[in-house]
Amino acid sequence: LDENEVVSLGYEWKEKDEGEYRQSNYKIPEEISDISKAIVDEILACEKCRKNYKIDDTELSFYRRMKLPIPLECYECRHTERFNMRNPRKLCERECDKCGVSLQTTFSSDRDEKVYCEKCYLESVY
């Protein structure tokens, strides 16, 4: 959709932020165990869009506890990537792969996932 279409539908339009961003001189270590608390004072640059972002104490604590690496991309790029991985908002007619009953699902028939009706799913899980 372009700006006119969006506005005509009653929504607000926001131009892409083309601001200038600082280049980060901080090299993020690959291993979370190699990261010092000083990272919370650093301004990082997204590897995808170059926007600046920071890691706060709570995030650092979470990444350490879960033994996860520090993200190399800003929140917006990570959110967009997750959003693009979801199924389309469209229901498809399929048959249960166990009993053959007809059902609706967001998994299209050209995908490999097994799709069960609720009854068969509950039987297989419990």
pLDDT tens, the chain, 126 aa long: 788 898 898 888 887 766 667 778 888 999 999 999 999 999 999 999 999 999 999 999 999 999 999 999 999 999 999 999 998 889 999 999 999 999 999 998 888 899 999 999 999 999
7 neighbors 13 (Cβ within 8 angstroms): yes
pLDDT at 47: 92
pLDDT at 104: 95
pLDDT at 18: 65
pLDDT at 3: 87
Distance between CA atoms of residues 113 and 98, nearest Å: 12
Domain assignments of the chain as residue spans, ordered by start:
3-85, 92-125
Closest CA to 33 of 68, 74, 72, 71: 68
Where does the chain have alpha helices with state H? 3-8, 57-65, 75-85, 118-125
Residue corresponding to tokens 């509950």: 122
pLDDT at 46: 94
Give this prediction's pTM. Answer: 0.65
pLDDT at 88: 86
Count of residues making up the chain: 126
pLDDT at 99: 96
